[in-house]
């Protein structure tokens, strides 16, 4: 028997902005032992979906439960510390001159930028452990702005797991990385995803090559609607990618890693 609990439950979630339907009746359930990848063309609604999962936005209609609390009925400030979230938009808010240790440490207080908090040594020890887990040993004293893109991405993820969240949301964590940095990050994410003590993960990406081994489910979105949703081997196929992207795509898989290209 699985002891998994439900971390996200969307019923007919729609988001309408300026008369545009950005999400269209999305019903979706994520359990604590699942690691999801969300794929879809530019403008499909992926980031909007993640914003709702992060309790940062409410649906226009339908209901969204995050960590078993219904959005609109719960104090989101109580919910958010239980949700780890890494995105480029959040990274832009990190002061360039902040030390790596402080970038990670301040997550414990839901702030960016170190102010006057008294940090407990237990938090410092945890931050150092998290940095080590994400291959950032020796970086604690470096200024965030002096790191490479790949190192900065790993710091963002380390920050997002600092609070030991029950749900981890990653918006394009491998975007703009070179091949080596991408493979390093995908390897670390795969190791993290495979650990039984890891939280549920939802990762938005543009490239199937960025899906770490250990991910279990896929959600394919196009024009705000679900094209496919479920276990990876059912939801992520040449056929579902072809429908999602409106062109004939051939998907290949080897050793739990994927590659995709337009069919010849
Ligand atoms: N506040 C808003 N008002 C009007 N339209 C919006 C608003 N926010 C997002 N949109 C539109 O909703 C659509 C979906 O946006 P979203 O960022 O969720 O897509 P995405 O799948 O993450 O795209 P990308 O892959 O390009 O990041 C886009 O067409 C976007 O322009």
DSSP 112-141: SS--S----HHHHHHHHHHHHHTT-TT-TT
Q: How many CB atoms lie within 10 A of CB 2?
A: 7
Q: Which element (helix H / strand E) includes 232? A: helix 232-235
Substitution site in 13, 48, 175 for ligand 1 pocket (most atoms within 8 Å of beta carbon): 48
CA–CA separation, 90 and 50 (whole Å): 13
- Looking at residue 2, its pLDDT comes to 55
Task: State percent of the chain over pLDDT 90.
Answer: 80
Contact 155, 188 (CB under 8 A): no
Q: How far is the CA of 219 from the centre of ligand 1 (A)?
A: 17
Residue 125 CB–ligand 1 contact under 6 Å: no
Phi-psi domain of 255 (left: phi exceeds 0; alpha: psi -120 through 50; beta: other): left
Measured between alpha carbons, how far is 173 from 169 in angstroms, rounded to an integer?
Answer: 10
* Cβ of 22 below 6 Å from ligand 1: yes
Protein residue closest via CA to atom 24 of ligand 1: 42
CA-nearest of 215, 164, 186, 157 to 30 is: 215
Condensed to tens digits (0 to 9), the pLDDT of residues 84-120 reads 999 988 888 899 999 999 999 887 666 555 555 555 6
CA angle 28–29–31, rounded 5-degree value: 155
Longest dimension (CA), the chain: 60
Residue 110 is predicted with a pLDDT of 60
* Best mutation site among 20, 56, 87, 205 for ligand 1 pocket (most ligand atoms within 8 Å of CB): 20
* CA-to-CA separations, 141 to 120, 145, 148, 164, 218, in angstroms, rounded: 18, 12, 15, 22, 38
- 146 and 179 Cβ atoms separated by less than 8 Å: no
pTM for this prediction = 0.93
**Burial (CB count <10 Å: 0-12, 13-18, 19+), residue 261:** exposed
Q: Is the ipTM of this complex over 0.90?
A: yes
Task: Return the structure tokens found at 168.
Answer: 């981890």
Ligand 1 geometric centre to CA of 207 (Å) = 18
Q: Is 153 in the pocket of ligand 1 (CB under 6 A)?
A: no
C-beta of residue 22 within 8 angstroms of C-beta of residue 224: yes
Average pLDDT, the chain: 92
In the prediction, which pLDDT does 25 show?
97
Question: How confident is the model over 52-94, as pLDDT tens digits?
Answer: 999 999 999 999 999 999 998 888 888 888 999 999 888 888 9
CA-44 nearest atom, ligand 1: 21
Q: How many angstroms separate the CA atoms of 193 and 117, rounded?
A: 32
Q: How far is the CA of 63 from the centre of ligand 1 (A)?
A: 20
Q: What mean pLDDT is predicted for residues 140-153?
A: 93
């Amino acid at each position: 028997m699985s002891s998994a609990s439900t971390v996200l439950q969307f019923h007919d979630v729609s988001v309408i902005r300026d008369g545009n339907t950005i999400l269209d009746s999305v019903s979706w359930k994520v359990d604590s032992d699942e690691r999801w990848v969300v794929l879809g063309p530019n403008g499909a609604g992926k980031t909007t979906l993640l914003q709702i999962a992060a309790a940062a936005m409410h649906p226009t209609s339908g209901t969204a439960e995050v960590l078993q609390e219904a959005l609109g009925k719960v104090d989101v400030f109580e919910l958010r510390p239980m949700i780890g979230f890494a995105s480029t938009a959040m990274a832009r808010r990190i002061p360039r001159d902040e030390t790596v240790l402080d970038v990670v440490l301040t997550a414990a207080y839901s702030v960016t930028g170190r102010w006057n908090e008294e940090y407990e040594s237990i938090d410092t020890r945890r931050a150092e452990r998290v940095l080590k887990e994400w291959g950032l040993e020796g970086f604690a004293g470096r200024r965030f702005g002096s790191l490479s893109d790949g190192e900065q991405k790993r710091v963002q993820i380390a920050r997002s797991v600092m609070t030991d969240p029950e749900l981890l949301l990653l918006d394009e964590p491998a975007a703009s990385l070179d091949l080596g940095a991408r493979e390093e990050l995908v390897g670390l994410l795969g190791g993290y995803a495979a650990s039984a003590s890891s939280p549920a993960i939802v990762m938005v990406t543009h490239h199937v090559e960025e899906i770490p081994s250990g991910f279990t489910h896929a959600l394919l979105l196009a024009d705000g609607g679900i094209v496919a949703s479920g276990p990876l081997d059912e939801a992520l196929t040449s056929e579902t990618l072809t429908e999602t992207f409106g062109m004939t795509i051939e998907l290949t898989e080897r050793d739990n890693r994927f590659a995709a290209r337009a069919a010849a």
